[in-house]
Structure 1
Amino acid sequence: MAQANVLLKNARKDQGLTQAILAEKLHVDTQTVSSWERGIRAPLPDVRKRLCELLGKSPEQLGLSFAEENEADNSQLQVAVASVQKAIVPSSLETVAISLPQDRSIVDTTEIEIQAFPPLQAISLSAQVNNDSLRLHLLNRVYSLWIVGFFQHSLFRSILLRLQLYEQPNAVNNPWHQTVQESNLPARLLPIGTRIIQVYDEADGEVLILGKPGAGKTTLLLELTQQLLMRAQENEQHPMPVVFNLSSWAEKQQPLQEWLIEEFTMRYQVPPNLARAWIEEEAITLMLDGLDEMAGDYRTKCIEAINTYRQTHGLVSIVVCCRQDDYFAQPARILLNKAIVAQPLTEQQVDQYTSHENFNVKSMRLALQKDPDLQAMVTTPLMLNILTLIYHETPQGKASLISSLPVHRQNIFQTYVERVTKRGLLQRNYTLDQTNHWLSWLARQMQAHNQSEFYLERLQPTWLPHTAYQRYQAAILRLIYGIDIFVVAALFAWIRGGKRGDEVGVGIGLLGELGGRSGNDVLGWMKPGLGGGLEAGGSLGILLALVVVIVTLLMGSPMPIFSWRTLWQSVTSGLRNASLIGVGVTLIAGILFSLSQGLIGGFESGLSMGLFSGLLAGLLTGLINGLKSKPEMAHIVQDPSEPLQKNKQWQKSNVIKRFWDTVFYGCCAGVGFGGVYALLAGGINTYVLTYGAIAGAFMGLIFGAGGGTNLLHLGSGIEPVERVAWSWRNMRYHATKSLTKGLLLGMMVMLGVSITLSIASSGFYGLAYGMRYGIIYGMIVGLVGGLAAIFTGSLASGWSSDILDEHQFVRPNEGIRRSLKNALLVGCVFGLVGGVASGLISGFAFGFVGRLGGWPILSAGFTILFGVIFVLQCFILQGGGAWVKHYVLRWYCWRAGYMPRNYAHFLDYAADSILLRKIGGGYMFAHQLLRDYFDKLEMQGEISHHSNKKLQIRHTDNIDHIECDSHANPPV
């Protein structure tokens, strides 16, 4: 290994200079001076001259005489390489040059050079051949795989366009920056013609290469690898450059040293013991590519692993490559000396490139001059290389016939898409036809909705065709209401209790599990209930249903403004639906009960069930109409894409839709209610089927035919809940209104329930019991409903949600994930608080108003039920509904063929193919012209017939190896 240069170190100390002061005088980094003194590096010729002048000593006195010997050897190597180059490059070319470490004379003002790739034998013969055959084997393997196998094929006719670089100090975590006060230096352009090898030397072999997709980062990395291979073959003490792809690190996330040993063995067939020895002896220069190929979280962990490795291997030279946006999107900063960013190509560079005499692309140069929009796209070596191939391999006469700019662009972009999606190292998960089809749909929708940026969380149902939009809206209603109905029916069955043998009542259900007595005894004197076979256990459903309606309506909208008109609308709509649903349930229940109880008994039980159902339906629909304003109701049920029509609800299509809604909701309720009854009864029997069918008929009629789907404000669009906040100030500000309206609502509910229950129960048990039962139960329901309204209104007034600005997103679909997270948060918090509060209120009402000794059991039971209700409704209304609607919409789009199932993965693939640009958590087309191309693509039938319209281009080695930022490992 290298020996320390004691002479240089002593000479510096004799002059009273620190490494930092000497570095400042020489305009180099402190680490560079340190590497000279450690014997790892030698000063370049011009720097060596100034160093001798500063220290007042000759190169021999400073221990630098060997550098002159190496320089002589390098000159011989250059002559040997030049002789080989003449055999493989046309003699008409002006300049032949290879960037050697000590030769600075090759910095050209033209910014273009011919890159030589001499055979391995020429390098081996001209260099000082190392006696270590294993070392030479590794160097030759790296050269064969990466330089000849990839780098050489990535350059059209070996033309290397010199990129301008700028340094960005804040991209790295350099401990020396604070020492020499460089931590706050702004990014600065490096001199024109600065080579990556010069940056590497000045950074003491620690460089981070950044840039946009296609900007030439991998080319810079491999150019540097080629130069370091030459050095390693010249000097056996020089570390061996080895290229590794970091994308595989994310699989196991091992310590970097262990991962390097595995990669050595797998990619280069180096024995593990030898690989470990080379790494521990720091005989390897790590050329790390592919940091941007892993997810953001893994990228941060990988950088931390590299930094940890650097803590114990601080003298190892490391070069890391990553896309600029992906690197800065995560918080970690890599522990290296310098960071450079590859600049976009300038018009002057493109003009020099296209005017080079080695090309036959005059038509391309003229096209760029005539088409400024197309010229604006040529900002990366990738795009420039593709256009060069297209024009060079297109006959001059044919190119001149293309006079129409639109047709010309169309042909260019068609070939461009084919090339970037077929790059040799790009992971091909999608076919060309799929890519064209899906991006064409995206471009048309962005154009139709005036969007320049696409965020997955902003996908809306209006992107669907009219028929698909209607089906989607119907599916959303059925899915969300189906879940709601299923859960509420199951809860009602659980608290109402079932039948086990001869025992019937709440003691079989939840209340019995909490310690309630057999049958309905826990309800004390209220046990008879409405009568006609419907005991008080069934009446508990009134309380449950009213709380569901109040929580659902008030959690999603502010407290309503009560008026006589509102009261009249509530009464009329309630009576209308009570009559319709009461008669319907009476007929269905009467028929079902007659099968087991006979005609008279079945009719009596059916009448009781119909009275209860009509009562409950009237209360619910009246409450819904009273708490919801007319505009909101119209907004919910009206498809915005359809004109308003009178009597629309009685149109044939709408009648059919309501029929199927009734069947669907009825099935959801029947399965929920009957399923719980089957569990309570220990199996399916006539009792389970009968009451399951009745519950299904009731729910189906009220939500299908009765318009109960006005309950939830689902809207026509998707509005994620991406940010939530709580304000005690807002809650206190609205406290008086919430209290007043809650009490008023409770009184209205109490009055309605007392009147209807008194009349219904008096018909079976006489006026005395009926009046007592109706008034007291009405007071209980009114008290619980009013306090639930006050509590829910207070929570709704203090809680607020909002949609974030899209530019705050850092990951695709982050808004929908935030919406789900907030929905779970609100559901859990409000579910716990709301369930406990409502349960205590219910227990207090049954104990102190109803004088029931089992009120603690009732309180515990209702705490569980209301907790579930609060969780479910808050989840749906505070972001969960948007989450459901988003993924249902994605399913419809996938089913229609507009997108793949994993849309974010495809969009990332398109970004990797440089068809899209990734901006935080969103995407935009790489250029407006490219979006226009996809917008018109399918209308011209080019997807299925693209092979007939594309340019006839010969398949050459350059096609699949265009310069790019792909990072997959080459085949070994």
Structure 2
Amino acid sequence: MGNKDKYQNDSAKIDRQNIRDVKDHGKVAAIINENVNVNNFNFADFIQGFLNFFRPEDREAKVRSELLKGIKVEVVQRLEDSLQQNQLLVNQYLELPMFSQNEAVGRFERKKIISLPPETKIIDVFYRRDVAGKLLILGKPGAGKTTTLLRLAKELIEEAENNVDAPVPVIFELSNWQQDNLSIGDWLIEYLKDFYGMSDRRFNRSFLSGRKILPLLDGLDELGLVRQRLCIEKINNFIGEDIGTCLVVCCRDEEYQEGNFRLEKLNGAYCLQSPEEEEIYRYLEGLGKVDLWEVIQNNSQMWELANIPLFLNIMVTVYQGEPIYNEEQLFAAYIEECLQRMPTDVEKREKFFSSYTQEQTSYTQEQTRHWLTFLARQLEAENKTEFLIENMQPSWLENNVQKLAYRIIFGLVVGLIFGLIFGLIFGLIYGLIFGLIFGLIYGLIFRVEKIEPKQAFSFSWQKIKKNLILRLIDGLIDGLTFGLIFGLIFGLISGLIETLLFGIIGILIDDLTNLLIDGLILGLISGLILGLIYGLNTDIKLKHTPNQGIKESLKNSLSISIITTPFFLLIFYFYSLLDTGLGIKLALDEPEFSLFLGIIIGLHSGGLPSIKHFSLRLILWQNRLIPWNYAKFLKYSAQRRLTQQVGGRFRFIHDSLRKHFTGNKPVTSLSPQLDKNYSLRIIIFLIILTIFINITSCIYPITPQAKIFTPAIQTNNLVFSDIITHKWRNLERGNLIDFWGNEEEGFQPYCTYIMPIIALPGETLEIQEGKVFINNQPFTADYIADLPTQDYDEIKVEVPENYYLVLARHPDKNNQLLRGLIHKKEIIGQVLFKIW
């Protein structure tokens, strides 16, 4: 490099205020610093400002302000956490295209290389006249490319804060460019939506085309050579569409050269080189590590590592006297140091190690390595460098068994919610049976789709107009579908419980006809509601806390349910006044049905993604692939300086460290002694058991109207009764049964009785001389001894099939017996025990 031209910084630096938009020469757009006048407050200005809030230009200013704040927090945090925050001055040069097809930004036939002093700032290179805001940053792994990009972003942020016309620098990770057919412009728009919460794509497009954003593209080398070439072509096309666009791209030097495809629309390549021997010495001397300098000089492997700024910084941290021969050893020593080190006094004062005493014992080293390795491999598989907890997807599941368990749990939770609300309308039995069947079917057949959390809402007429017709059509389709499924399941349950085969067919036909009509009406209403909801919009919603997307989805779901339920109440109030003759007109009169539909709307507005997220994390946690409290663990790893946290986003402290974890041994299950979690089998069993108990049982109070013939139960007691399974099994002598009174047997009609069973089907009861015999065998029991049998000489009762004989003291005639044959169908349930 001795023949490189010497660069005089002051003479070549561009005057930023004199830049003009010269499109035919590809110069950068004008960036003019202006003073902002601050006026005294007056009421007229306040009213005008309030009205201006709804104007497009004020919306744009608000979005710009929020985006700038979020970007500033991200850049400052990442620079503070960087492994290269102690700046090592390195050699650098600027390569300008001058007639050479084969160089970094070749368009012409040769190149011009300008040596830059080590203290040269990247912002000065960016604003050179011959660069004009179109720059490629190249360097070896660990040379400081991303750190340089962050320093450039920091300088540009300061300018954007002082000049409202300056663009906002936004860092885009090219590793997230997943769709090859997507243009860079469209991808930037989607990126703003996914990572910065700017949900309005049309607004994002105008924001981008108006040069309100300055894209800083990092990680071109993460795409692989084939996709890297395609991406370079699309970047060239993007710049060519607007020749005045400023843009910076960051890439590893070796991968860029191997790609043999050039960013020809950029004006210069800023190349980071290895530090000189003298700079390494000064750096170590300034840190008081002269002894390390002597070791490096005498060890060729360590000298090779020290020529990479990242590795030199890590070496300063982890060197304990033992030689380090390669990158793997270096990162292994770094991880060990991070997991064992104690917090400094400064870190404690800054609360960097909040609740440190508690956190340091929360996770073992094996757990930390295991979970970070799994996370690194998921990011590698998805070709991403950043991670949001709410962006966890079912693709993280490792096999079909896990995917099946995920679908079943999701379906059961949804079915349980539907069943409980549905049970308020048609009875708990119908509701929970419907919920169980619906949940299992839905869980088994629904596709494993991407989980997309819903953002917080604000009002947008534009989105309402855009979505209303679409959602009305969707509502019609969903209404027909729901009416069909509802009719089939509800009709089938009704038939199974109440009728024989011909009854099932009749009910199915009748219910399907009516419920399909109701489905159309309810679908239209739901479509209208969904159209209004999808018209709710937020211009920008940055992720400030971990898992914010899921929390907002759940909050949106609850809020929308609360808002829409009264709306449905009002609609159905007028609807119920109409003589439509529809099958569920009586149900529509019930407030519970409005609640049911409100919850359905709420599930569509954020509830379903939340349930999917919960189900996914439950499976991953049970398989020991993630901790139960993922946010707590990731914060812990950030405190250990293994990851970085910026708001709700996490990334490894450096991509090289992430790749080190990716290259670790295959992820295996943690040792049993390290896993203190309960088995998922127990959780699934408890869920199924709970559903089964709710379906087959009932808890109810004993009212004064009930006729009770056992001293163990009194009026106002709360009893637990089996209302389903007693029909499928044989009851035993002494069981307490709850049944409706039959006047033919001497019972008071329309009253419920609780009495013990004395004789079973096929048995014969006899009373002779006050003694009770069953099948000619004496029968004695506590409740028999209290009966007035002494006045009966000869009684003989043969119990037919499907009947049970009950016997007790007559409530109105104390010296007489009350007996009766109770058919199985007349039994409401078997009283199992008293709760209180």
Class of the TM-score when normalised by the shorter of the 2 chains: 0.3 to 0.5
Instruction: Specify the structure having the higher radius of gyration (Cα).
Output: 1
* TM-score normalised by length of structure 1: 0.33
The structure where strand makes up a greater share of residues is 2
Answer 1 or 2: higher relative contact order, Cα 8 Å, separation at least 6.
Answer: 1
The structure with more helix, counted as a fraction of residues:
1
What TM-score comes out, normalization by structure 2 length? Answer: 0.38
